[in-house]
Structure 1
Amino acid sequence: MKGAKINFLKVAIVIIGVTILLLCVFGLPWLAEYSTEINPEYGYLKYPILIWIYITTIPFFVALFEGFKLLKYIESENAFSELGVESLNHIKQCGIGIIILYGIGLVILGFQNVLHPTMLIIAATIIFAALSISLFAAVLQELLKTALEIKSENDLTV
C-alpha cells in the first residue's frame, strides 16, 4: 500500500512537470503572440516577459526534482537522514527564489506602467503558492532535523 502511494505521488510529479513543460513550449508562445495581436502597443514586452517566465520555471523544475528525490528517499526508507533535510532545504530555497523572481517582475512591470490587473492576480497566486510550499518545506525541515537529533541522542544512549 505504501508503494502505491509513493508511486502515485511520483506519477503526479511527472504529470505536473510535463504539463508545465508543455505549457511553456506551446502555450506561452501562443499566448504571447495573441496578447501582442490584441495590444500591439505592448509588443516590445513580448520576449522579455516570455524569457522572464522561462527563468522562473527553473526553480520550479528544480523543486519538482527535489520532491521526486525525496519520494525516492522515502521509498528506500532513507527519508530520516540528512539527504531528506537537504532536499527540503532545496525546495524551500526554490520557493523563495520563485517569490523573489515574480516580485522583481511585478515591480519592473509596475514601474513601466504595464502591470495589468490579470497579470497581478496570476502573479500573486503564484507567489502565494510558492510561499505556502516554502513555509511547509521549512516546517517539515525543522521537524526532520528535530527527529534526527532525537534519533542520534537515542542511538548514543543505547
Structure 2
Amino acid sequence: MKRETFFLKFVIYLIGLPALAVCIYGFSRFDPNSPYWALPELENLQYPLLVGMYLAMIPFFIALIQTLKLLNYIDKNQAFSEAAVKSLKTIKYCAIIIIGLFILELPVLYLLTAVDDTPGILIGMVVIFASLVIAVFAATLQKLLHNAIELKSENDLTV
C-alpha cells in the first residue's frame, strides 16, 4: 500500500468501523419496553426512526467501499480510468440517496424534537448538508476526470 493513500484508507476505516458498531450494537439498544419510548408521544416514532437510520447506512457503506476502490485505483496508477469515474458516480448517487432518506426522516426527527429536547433536526440537517457537499464534490470530480480521460484519449490519437 502506498504511503499517499494509506492515511486516507485508515480514515475510511476509522469512519466505517464505528458506524458498523452503531448498526450492530447501538441501534439494537432501542428497547421498545423502555420507559422513554412508552411515552404516548414517542411510542410511534421508534420504528420509523430505526428504519430510516438503517436504510441510510446501506448507501453510506456502499460509498465507503467505492471510496476504497477509488483509492486502490490511485495506488495502481489507474486514477484516470472509466472505473474511477464509475466509482465517483456511485459515490454521488449514494450521497443523493442519503439526502433523500434524511429529508424523508425530518418529520420524524421534528416530532422527536417536539417531545424531547433533542437536537434531532440539527443532526438531520448536518447529515443532509454534509451529503450535499459530498455529492457536489463527487460530481465535480467525476466531470473533471471524465474530461481528462477524453483529453488524454484525443492526445493519444494525435501524432
Cα distance in 1 for residues equivalent to 2:37 and 2:61: 31
1:143 aligns to 2:131 (yes or no)? no
Q: Equivalent pairs: percent with the same residue?
A: 42
Task: State whether residues 66 and 88 of structure 2, in contact with CA within 8 Å, keep that contact through their aligned partners in structure 1.
Answer: yes
**Within the alignment, does 1:114 sit opposite 2:114 as a pair?**
no
Q: Is residue 86 from structure 1 mapped to residue 86 from structure 2 by the alignment?
A: yes
Separation of aligned partners in 2, 1:6 and 1:80 = 16
Q: How far is 1:23 from its partner? A: 1.4
1:45 and 1:115, CA in 2 relative to 1: closer, same or farther beyond 3 A? Answer: closer
Equivalent residue of 1:44, what SS? coil
Question: What's 1:124 paired with?
Answer: 125
Q: Given residue 26 of structure 2, which amino acid in structure 1 is its aligned partner? A: G
- Any gaps of 5 or more consecutive residues in structure 2? none
Matched residues in 2 for 1:51 and 1:17: separation? 19
Report the AA paired with residue 152 of structure 1: S
Task: Report the residue type matching 2:105 in the other structure.
Answer: G
Cα offsets for 1:107-157 (capped at 9, x unmatched): 4x37xx714161111100000110001100011011101111110110010
The Cα of 1:82 is off from its aligned counterpart by 0.4
| Structure with greater helix share of residues | 1
How many correspondences in the alignment? 153
User: Secondary structure in 1 aligned to 2:35?
Assistant: helix
Q: Which segments of 5 or more consecutive residues in structure 1 lack a partner in the other structure? A: none
Work out whether 1:4 is the aligned partner of 2:3: yes
TM-score normalised over the length of structure 1:
0.88
My pick for the range that moved more, 85-94 or 45-54, is 45-54
